[in-house]
């Protein structure tokens, strides 16, 4: 296979993203149901957060200039959280609790551990400076500023931030509807006995898990038998129900690989064969204007190509603000002596050696060995036409980042 016949990975991804229409349909959800969804609008801060200066500790609020070392300071007020305090009387201190509003006139809070309580008041046993232990109004969010941008994926921390602004419902993008089609007469569902020449349908369950983590809905999930007319009928039926069709297998050069042939005959095939290892026979096209991502048939190749190529496409369709993973630059614990014309994504994991994080590779990188991905916690990149020695720096992508 000549390198010229294979589309480079970056070029293939760019091609897919150029054909990735953003889902424009939205829905409103209670904040409690928003985890993992994608914001469909900007959220501005309606008012300062926190709305008033408040204490960061349990202690005593006072005016710093009223403190004299060793001299007691009378307690004039007690301010529990949730109350509106009166202005502080000059020359006194107020008992205050974490989160309580700092009274007007006070400019510092001394934590209770630094205070001795006497019959005559409090004696502070620490240096007192203005502004200590006070969370200032608007310190977290200033009213009118942008809190969260459209395209942000909602995590637990975004839920908390929205709650701090008083947001009870959020507008999110509707989930991408995906049809999952596995190809092959040899495929059998788990739980059934295997006959001669049969194997269990691994890819269906890998893809169902990946799509769930990617925040997609599965609109259709079926097995395509190795018949040209049945393949075409199922693809057309899937196109009517889904925003995206993902197939596994059926895109190589064999006589029984019908997905690629159907796309060429009845739809569009705009990309076929990519300079990636594993996963060379990847295809992209459409049928009845519904995009089709044709993944290879080997289980490890399905995982790798979905993460490397499929996820940037899905994130773009979702309107995500962050489309591409960043990765980490780490030293390698393995070597590659024979350069390849394809960019290789090695199932790998980080390990600690001499107190430093390094990247180690699974011993068997065959595209059919899915156990390698269970051992691994990410993918390490070996560029095309490149050898690698132990200690060389490479790019490593944790699975969590590839799927985030």
pLDDT along the chain (404 residues), means of 10: 74 96 96 97 93 96 95 95 94 96 97 95 94 94 93 97 95 98 90 93 96 96 90 95 94 74 92 94 95 95 97 97 95 95 97 92 94 97 96 97 94
Give me 297's structure tokens: 């048939």
Strand partners, 359: 332, 350
Phi, psi values for residue 130, rounded to 5° = -65, 145
Q: What is the pLDDT of residue 2?
A: 39
Q: Are 57 and 98 in contact (CB under 8 A)?
A: yes
Q: What angle do CA 161, 326, 149 make, to 5 degrees?
A: 30
Phi, psi values for residue 96, rounded to 5° = -140, 155
* Cβ-based neighbours of 20, under 8 Å, separated by 6 or more: 291, 313, 316, 317
Give me 135's structure tokens: 């969370």
* Cβ-based neighbours of 17, under 8 Å, separated by 6 or more: 312, 313, 316, 323
From 308, 310, 283, 303, select the one nearest 362 (Cα to Cα): 303
Q: Are 62 and 94 in contact (CB under 8 A)?
A: yes
* Cβ-based neighbours of 276, under 8 Å, separated by 6 or more: 9, 12, 282, 304, 305, 308, 309, 342, 343, 344, 345
Distance, CA of 335 to CA of 167 (rounded, Å): 52
Q: What is the pLDDT of residue 4?
A: 55
Distance, CA of 156 to CA of 163 (rounded, Å): 11
- What are the counts of helices (DSSP H) followed by strands (DSSP E) for the chain? 9, 26
Give me 107's structure tokens: 């400019």
Distance, CA of 232 to CA of 210 (rounded, Å): 25
Q: Where are the alpha helices (DSSP H) in 279-333?
A: 299-305, 311-317
């Amino acid at each position: 296979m000549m390198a010229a016949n294979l589309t480079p990975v970056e070029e293939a991804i760019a091609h897919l993203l150029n054909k990735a229409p953003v889902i424009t349909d939205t829905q409103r959800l209670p904040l409690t149901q928003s985890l993992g969804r994608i914001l469909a609008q900007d959220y501005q801060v309606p008012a300062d957060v926190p709305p008033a200066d408040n204490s960061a500790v349990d202690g005593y609020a006072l005016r710093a200039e009223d403190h004299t070392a060793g001299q007691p300071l009378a307690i004039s007020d007690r301010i529990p959280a949730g109350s509106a305090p009166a202005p502080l009387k000059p020359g006194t201190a107020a008992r205050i609790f974490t989160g309580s509003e700092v009274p007007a006139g006070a400019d510092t809070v001394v934590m209770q551990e630094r205070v001795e309580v006497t019959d005559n008041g409090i004696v502070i046993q620490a240096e007192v400076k203005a502004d200590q232990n006070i969370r200032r109004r608007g310190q977290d969010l200033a009213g009118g500023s942008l809190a969260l941008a459209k395209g942000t994926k909602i995590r637990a921390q975004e839920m908390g931030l929205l709650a701090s602004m008083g947001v009870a419902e959020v507008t999110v993008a509707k989930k991408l509807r995906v049809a999952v089609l596995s190809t092959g007469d040899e495929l059998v569902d788990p739980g059934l006995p295997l006959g001669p020449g049969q194997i269990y349908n691994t890819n269906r369950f890998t893809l169902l898990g990946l799509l769930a983590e990617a925040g997609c809905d599965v609109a259709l999930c079926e097995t395509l038998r190795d018949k040209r007319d049945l393949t075409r009928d199922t693809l057309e039926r899937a196109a009517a129900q889904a925003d995206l069709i993902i197939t596994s297998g059926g895109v190589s050069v064999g006589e029984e690989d019908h997905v690629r042939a159907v796309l060429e005959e009845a739809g569009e095939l705009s990309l076929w064969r990519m300079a990636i290892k594993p996963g060379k026979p990847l295809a992209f096209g459409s049928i009845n204007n519904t995009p089709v991502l044709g993944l290879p048939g080997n289980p490890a190749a399905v995982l790798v190509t979905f993460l490397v190529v499929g996820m940037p496409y899905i994130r773009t369709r979702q309107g995500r603000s962050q489309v591409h993973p960043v990765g980490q630059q780490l030293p390698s614990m393995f070597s590659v002596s024979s350069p390849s014309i394809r960019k290789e994504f090695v199932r790998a994991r980080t390990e600690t050696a001499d107190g430093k994080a390094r990247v180690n590779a699974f011993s068997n990188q065959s595209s059919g060995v899915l156990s390698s991905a269970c051992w691994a916690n990410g993918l390490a990149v070996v560029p095309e036409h490149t050898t690698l020695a132990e200690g060389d720096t490479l790019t490593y992508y944790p699975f969590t980042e590839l799927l985030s």
